[in-house]
Every structure is written in C-alpha cells, then in structure tokens.
C-alpha cells in the first residue's frame, strides 16, 4: 500500500467515525503516520482528501450493489451495514456538514448520487422487466432512509425496508 492509499484509508476511518469538520489535520497525520507536510503533498488539501475518500467509498459501495434485483439490493445494504458500520451515508453526512459549499466534496457527492440513482433505476427495470421511475424513486428513498435509520436500529431497519421494497415491487408487477 503506497502513502496515498494509506492516507486515504486512514482518512476514511476518521471522517466516517468523527465527521469531516471534527477531523483535524493533526488526527489525520497521526493516523496515517506522516507529517503534515507529507500529508499535504499526497492530499493537496483536506477537501481534496475528503473527495478522494468519497471516490474510494463510491468504488467499494457501487461494487457491493452490483446486483440484479431489488431484494438483492437491500441484502447488499444489510451486508454493508454489518461490515462497514451503521453510521449512515458518508456522502450525505459530509454534504450536510459542508453545506454544499466545498466544490471538491460537492462534486464527489453529486457524482455518486447520480450514478447511484441510475443504478437503482436499472435494478428496478431488471426486476420488473421495464422501467418505472416512480418505483425507482420509492426504492431510492427506502434505501437512503434505511441506511440512516440503521444508525439507531442496526440491520433491523434495512430488513424492514427490504420487506417494504418487496411489497412495492410486487404491487408494480402486472
């Protein structure tokens, strides 16, 4: 693992655990085992580092939800919560912390949410055999809500959303 990968991994853990604003450069340098000068050399800025963290998170998350059905989508979220933790969506939390005013972060969040929304649309279309924008929107809201409700309810929230999603999918079938 090179210095940039080591820094990105350490930063993701800190940002995910403590948030973007509460994670200072001192915590980042200590966790990555490097000086602030080396950190800035590899990261550019804290905002650029957060954007890199979000890009890496996006890569892992999107690979996890490369599924063929709505039920498998929620099963993947259950796995994600068990493995990665239940602190809610890092993209939305970071966007909320920065108010959308940090371009590097805002761009990373927007890019992720566009692709994520498209992926849900494709999954719904595979399940139904046709596109259904209204159902895709409902599944998206259930998924996002379940990931945040998992903060205080654990995988039980995702399981409840999974059951609700199955009901929606069945009612949308001819």
Min mean pLDDT across 31-45, 89-103, 105-119 is at: 31-45
pLDDT for 1 beyond 70: no
Report how far residue 59's alpha carbon sits from residue 21's, in angstroms, rounded to the nearest whole number: 23
The answer to whether 73 and 143 have CB atoms below 8 angstroms apart is: yes
Per-residue model confidence as pLDDT tens digits over 16-55:
999 999 999 999 989 988 888 988 888 889 999 999 999 9
Per-residue model confidence as pLDDT tens digits over 124-146:
999 999 999 999 999 999 999 99
Of 87, 86, 95, nearest to 51 (Cα)? 95
**Total structural domains in the chain?**
1
Report how far residue 155's alpha carbon sits from residue 84's, in angstroms, rounded to the nearest whole number: 12
Tally Cβ neighbours within 10 Å of residue 157. Answer: 21
Question: What is the residue range of 68's domain?
Answer: 3-172
Report how far residue 69's alpha carbon sits from residue 42's, in angstroms, rounded to the nearest whole number: 39
Q: What is the CATH number of the domain that holds 82?
A: 1.10.357.10
The answer to whether 165 and 74 have CB atoms below 8 angstroms apart is: yes
Report how far residue 59's alpha carbon sits from residue 66's, in angstroms, rounded to the nearest whole number: 11
**Residue 154: is it exposed, middle or buried by C-beta count within 10 angstroms (0-12/13-18/19+)?**
middle
Residue holding tokens 């490369």? 66
């Amino acid at each position: 693992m090179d210095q940039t990968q080591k820094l990105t991994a350490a930063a993701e853990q800190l940002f995910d655990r403590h948030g973007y604003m509460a994670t200072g450069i001192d915590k980042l340098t200590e966790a990555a085992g490097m000086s602030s000068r080396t950190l800035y050399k590899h990261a550019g800025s804290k905002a650029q580092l957060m954007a890199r963290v979000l890009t890496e998170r996006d890569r892992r998350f999107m690979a996890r939800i490369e599924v063929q059905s709505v039920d498998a989508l929620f099963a993947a979220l259950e796995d994600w919560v068990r493995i990665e933790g239940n602190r809610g969506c890092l993209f939305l939390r970071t966007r909320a912390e920065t108010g959308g005013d940090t371009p590097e972060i805002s761009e990373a969040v927007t890019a992720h949410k566009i692709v994520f929304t498209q992926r849900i649309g494709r999954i719904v279309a595979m399940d139904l055999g046709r596109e259904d924008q209204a159902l895709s929107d409902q599944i998206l809201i259930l998924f996002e809500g379940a990931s945040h409700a998992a903060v205080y309810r654990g995988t039980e929230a995702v399981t409840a959303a999974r059951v609700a999603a199955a009901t929606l999918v069945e009612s949308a079938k001819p």
